[in-house]
Structure formats: structure tokens, C-alpha cells
Structure 1
Amino acid sequence: MTQKLEEKALDFVVEEMIDVVQKSKDEIFHISEEARSEHEQLQIELNETKEKVTKHINDGDALEQKVRFSRQRLSEVSKYFDRYSESEIREVYENTHAMQTRLAMLRQEEKILRDKRDELERRLVTLDQTVARSEGLASKISVILTYLNDDLRQVNEMIEEAREKQEFGLKIIEAQEDERRRISREIHDGPAQMLANILLRSELVDKTFRHGTTDETIGEIKSVRKMIRSSLYEVRRIIYDLRPMALDDLGLVPTIKKYIATISDYNDIQIEFKPIGKEQRVSQEYEIAFFRLMQEGLQNAIKHADASLVKVKLEIGTNTISLVIKDNGKGFDPAIKREKSFGLIGMRERVEMLNGTLSINSMIGEGTTIVIHVPYNLS
């Protein structure tokens, strides 16, 4: 009895340590992302400022030439005062004064822009240092998490083995049934409905051909062709969702790139993908799991978040695989339990089966960030 209590106490301590370290790493990820975003904005502002500085220098140099010529003209007028009329003298003086005033203003604006440029460059250097420090801290924390996770697994290995075997079989059956229901719904709502509509439109084409004009018939044929093309896309999408062949042939990173390019174009949404580390193959079950996690995360952002920009980051480290999906959508309150949130539940269960962690950071109106960490040993 005492031994069991000690094991539970040790488990609690290790889990609390892992939770604290994991939250620290997630926070570092957020800081890094915010620093990168600010860096991009400052870089744009710096480029614009440099262009303005160059323009002011060129304009100032050109105006300085004009001022020099005008001074010579003024000197000539002053020397031969009696040769020029009063209006000519006034015009020379006024022009020279106006150009000198404009030149002084240009040089002052140029100095302000130079100071702004120098300040932006200093801020960019600081942000570069912040990003580098955050990435260094994230790597160190990953090492700490690996040690903690390894210790926890060693302590619980004997206890968890029997329970995992029992639950694993049940989860496979549940996953199969869920997949069957999903495919059935997609076929019913997608290709089946479209094929029924195509049949009705084909009858309309027949009637139009018999009783309508040639232009009307061609228009109906084009409409049917468009529906067939859309139906074919849906069938291919369902087949791709079942098992993308590129995953077996090319691996995880190229498959994600291809999938994101396709879904971004189809849904007219900007999706940025950033792989970190070497593009190397990992075990098949991990490639499938992370592809499905990425797929479900993107679908949630597109269907429920009303996002216009989604950022996906995949890091394949020596001991950990991490996935971050961040959108600028409408967000939600994670503390409020939502009905039928099967997508997030499925993602969480899949991560738990890999002994990983999934955290969701979201606020209403502030978008959503999903961070996944799964232990994995490449050696």
C-alpha cells in the first residue's frame, strides 16, 4: 500500500514538472512567433524608409544644384543692379529664398528618416536576438522534456502496459466505426447529391435540346460539365482523405506541402507551412498520425474559425515531433464545453495514443493556436 502511494506521489511530481516545462516551451513558441511577425512588419517598414531616404537625398542633391545656380544668378543681379528691373530682382530674390527654404526642409526630413531607419535597424537586431534566444531555450527545454518523459515512462511502464493494450483494441474499433460514419456522410452529402443533381440537369439538357435554343442547350451542358468536375473533385478528395499515396512514396513533409497547396487553392485561403529540421522520414504510424492531425486542424480552421490565414509549423527533432497550427479566425473560449466537437476530441485521443500532449490556446476574436508535442527517438 505504501509503495503504491509513493509511486502515485512520484508520478504526480513528475507530471507537474512536465506540465510546467511544457507550458514554458509553449510560451516560448508564442514569443518566437510574435517576434517573427513583428520582424516581418519592421522589415517592410525599414525597406519603405530606406526608399524614402534615397528619394530625399536625390531630391536634395538636385535642389542643391538649383540653389547654387540661383545664388550665382543672385550674385550677378546684385553686382549689376542697374541692369535689371525691380520685378526681375524681386523674382530672383524670392526664388532663391524659396529654394533655400525647401532645401532646408528636405535636409531636415532626410535627417528624421535617417534616424528612423537607424532605429528600425536596431530594433530588427534586437528581434533577431530574441528569436535566436527563444529557439535556443526551446531546444534546451525539449531536452529537459525528453528526460522527464523518459523517467515517467520508466516508472509507469509496467503499470501502463496492460491498460494500454486493452484500450488500444477498443480505440481501433471506435476509430473504424467513426471513419465509416464519416465516409458515409461525405459520400451522401457530396458525390451522391451531386450525381442526383447531374441526373436532373441531364433531363433538363434533353428538354432544352428539344424545345430550346442552341445557346441555352450549350449553357446547360456547361453547367452539367461543371457539376461533374466538382463531383470528381469530391470523389478524389475522399479517396485522398482515406489514404494519400504520396505519404508512402514521399514522406510526411512533401505530402503536407502538397495537401496545403491543394486545400489553400480550393478554399481560397492563405496557408503558410514552415518545416523545421531535416526533411527525413519517420515511422509510418507517426507520419500517418501527424498528417491526420494537421488535416483535422486545418479543417477546423477553415470550417469553424472563418480564418483568412493559417500558419502550420512542423518540427522533427531528435527526440520530439512538434506541430503548431495557428489561425487568425474568430476563436473560442476553451473553458466552455462545446457540443459535437469531435474533431478536437479525435485529435486529443490520437495524440494521447502516442504519449504526446496537445494544448489549445484561444480567445474569442483572437484566433486559435494548437500545439502538439509527441516524443520520438530518431536513432
Structure 2
Amino acid sequence: MNLVKEGKFLKSEPKDFLLSVIGSSPYGIIALDYQGKIIMVNSLAMQYLGIEDEINSIADRSVYGYIQFLPELESILRSSLEKQQKSFDLELIPYNDNFFSFRGRLTHHGMIITIEDVTRLKEMETAVLNSMIEGQELERRRLAKEMHDGVGPLLSTIKMNIQKIESDIVELSPPIKEDFSAAYSLIDTVADEIRYISHHLLPKVIEDFGLSAGLESLCKRLDNTSKLEVYFYSSHPEERFDQMIELGLYRSGQELINNAVKHSDAKRIEVQLIKHADSLVLSIEDDGKGFDWKMLPGSGIGLANVETRVASLGGTCSIDTRIGQGVNVVMEIPLNSEKYE
């Protein structure tokens, strides 16, 4: 622990008490002057930042040499110290396989930064999200099964009964024939709609053939049935991934593509699934009218669902859009099996 004030140590007793308080704090603590030089640091802050130097050797060194791999923190810290007018809070920043929250508060002589390890909180949040999404999927499966095994056969029975009634009547007037024909057509329409809903509730292609096949099937179906041109590319079309990843990205892609079809006035949608060494990236881009976040009705519930699913997989989701310039959504999921065990 090193504690300096204007080049001089504080008087012994107050200094010892302050050192004891700061040393036993459950937070990492760093005090800086306005030039970003370290005035004080406790051992927990050094541990969190991965500083291996001796604690007494880093006084008067620039803090920026120790946070170069935390660009978001470095940027906001430089701005705050240079302007001497802005405190800050950074939540859930990933670093060295953990998550930290950083809080900076201006003082008369510089800034105090506190660091909290929130990895356990992040893990609990992810577990809650996963439980919620798993519950939704179970309900989807239940509904899909009931529609397929219950309503589907019931419609077939109704159609057979109508055919039997029609065959039992020797002569039918033209209006009645039209009514029978309309009934057949309506039953077929309802059956097709139930198959469509059941497929979306429980995408069998994902379970049987994987994420690439599921997304490609979705894109081809839209390409054949709408005025949109829907393009799909996968860097590893045959590769399978963790079931949670496949289902989560498929649901997210489904939501975003449907949003583009319904609301974007786009002429072209591009869907790309790219595997990197340690992550999987799904990007969906359209050339539609885009939108203004502030004017989005319902606070963007569909997009919020996508962000929730991606967060539950430990991933990130970036959305780039402006009015008249389309929408580009990029979701990146880490390929770390430990997250899904």
C-alpha cells in the first residue's frame, strides 16, 4: 500500500487507520491525480487489474500503462480527468475471464476509482436468463405437440365428415356446392397455418440438421414466398454447435428476419453465419428504411428479446441503424462449452 498526499505521508495514526480501512475494503481502490498518476492503490485493485509489480513501486506511475487492455475504461477515464467534471460508472466489463464494475468519482485532487468483481452476479444473471428461456422453449414444445397431435388430426376428421355428408346427398344445388368447396378450402388453409405455426414453435430442422440448415431453410422459404431477395451464407454449413447456441441464434435470427419482412420495406436481406476460432457470429442486414431508437414503439420489444437471448449465451449484440440506411445486427457468441454445462 502506498499513500502520498502532495509529496508527503499523512500523519502516522490517521494514515495507519486509513490504510487499514482501504486495505480491508471489499473493493479495489485506486486514487489518481488529474494527470492520471497513481497516488494510492490497494492490493485488491492490483489483483483485479493483473498488476504484478511491487505495490510500493507504482506510486507516481501512470495508470494508463495498467489499463491498456480496458479501452472503454481508459477512454472514459481520460475524458473525465481532462475535463475535471465527469464521474462515471462502467458495469459488467469483461477482463481476464471475469466481469468488473468500475466507478470513478472526482475529488479536489483527482479521482477515486473503485473496482468490484461482479463475476458471480453475472453468472447468476445468466443462469436466470437461461432458466427463463428454457421454460419458454418447453412451453413452445408443448404447444407445438398439442397442435400437431391434437388439432391436426381433428381437422382431418372434420374434413372427412364433410366429405361423407356431401357424398350422402344425391343432388347439391350450386350454392351448396360452393359452400362445401369453401369449407374444404378453409380447412386446408387452417391446416397449413397450424403446420406453419407448429414449425416455428418447434423447428425440427434445427434438431435434425443444425443451425446452418435451419437458417438456410428459413431464408429460402421467405425468398420463395415474398418479394424480398433473401441471401444466406455459412462458413461452416455442416458443423454442429451446442444446442443452446443453435436454438438461441435461430430464434434471434427468426425474430430479426421477420421484423425486416414486416417493417423494413427492404428489397434485400443478407444473413451470414461465420465461425471464428473462439466465437460464432450471426449477422443480419437489410437495405430498408431503418429506424430511430428514440421513436421505436414499445421500446423495441422484439430487439429486446434478441438481446436477452444473446446475453443468456454470454454473447454480445450490436445494432447499427439510421433512418433511410437499413439495419445491421451482429450477434457474437463465445464458443466455450463450459458456459452451457
TM-score of Structure 1 vs Structure 2, range by shorter chain:
0.5 to 0.7
Q: Is the 8 A contact 1:319 1:378 kept in 2?
A: no
Distance 1:348 1:301 in 2: 16
* Root-mean-square deviation over aligned CA pairs: 4.2
1:14 aligns with 2:38: no
Q: Is the 8 A contact 1:334 1:360 kept in 2?
A: no
Deviation track 1:162-217 (CA, whole Å, cap 9, x = no partner) reads 44225523663477469969x99xx9xxx99xx9xx99xx8xx99xx999843x44
Aligned length: 234
In structure 2, the CA distance between the partners of 1:355 and 1:240, relative to structure 1 (3 Å rule), is same
Q: CA deviation at 1:295?
A: 0.6
Amino acid at match of 2:70: V
Partner of 1:130: none
Q: CA deviation at 1:363?
A: 1.7
In structure 2, the CA distance between the partners of 1:285 and 1:174, relative to structure 1 (3 Å rule), is closer
**How high is the TM-score relative to the length of structure 1?**
0.51
Partner of 1:113: none
Out of 180, 185, 204, the position equivalent to 1:226 is 185
Matches within 5 A, 1:1-379: 1=25, 3-5=27-29, 6=45, 7=48, 14=70, 16=72, 151-154=95-98, 159-165=118-124, 168-169=127-128, 172-173=131-132, 176=135, 213-214=173-174, 216-277=175-236, 279-339=238-298, 341-377=300-336
Q: Is the 8 A contact 1:278 1:316 kept in 2?
A: no
Stretches of structure 1 that go unaligned for 5 or more consecutive residues are 20-148
**How high is the TM-score relative to the length of structure 2?**
0.56
Structure showing the higher strand proportion among its residues: 2
Amino acid at match of 1:241: H
Look at both structures and tell me which one has the larger radius of gyration over its CA atoms. Answer: 1
Distance 2:74 2:241 in 1: 24
In structure 2, the CA distance between the partners of 1:230 and 1:179, relative to structure 1 (3 Å rule), is farther
Q: Is the 8 A contact 1:318 1:377 kept in 2?
A: no
Stretches of structure 2 that go unaligned for 5 or more consecutive residues are 1-24, 30-44, 50-62, 76-92, 101-115
Distance 2:137 2:207 in 1: 23
Q: Is the 8 A contact 2:271 2:282 kept in 1?
A: yes
Q: Is the 8 A contact 2:99 2:119 kept in 1?
A: no
Q: CA deviation at 1:161?
A: 2.8
Identity of aligned residues (%): 24
Q: Which has the higher contact order (CA 8 A, sep 6+)?
A: 1
In structure 2, the CA distance between the partners of 1:226 and 1:18, relative to structure 1 (3 Å rule), is farther
In structure 2, the CA distance between the partners of 1:293 and 1:268, relative to structure 1 (3 Å rule), is same
Q: Secondary structure at the match of 1:369?
A: strand
Amino acid at match of 1:159: V
Structure showing the higher helix proportion among its residues: 1
Q: Secondary structure at the match of 2:97?
A: helix
Q: CA deviation at 1:154?
A: 4.0
Q: CA deviation at 1:275?
A: 1.1
Q: Is the 8 A contact 2:67 2:74 kept in 1?
A: no
In structure 2, the CA distance between the partners of 1:340 and 1:213, relative to structure 1 (3 Å rule), is farther
Q: CA deviation at 1:366?
A: 2.2
Deviation track 1:303-342 (CA, whole Å, cap 9, x = no partner) reads 2223232111110122111111111222101244531522
Q: Secondary structure at the match of 2:230?
A: strand
In structure 2, the CA distance between the partners of 1:228 and 1:11, relative to structure 1 (3 Å rule), is farther
Distance 1:313 1:362 in 2: 18
Partner of 1:77: none
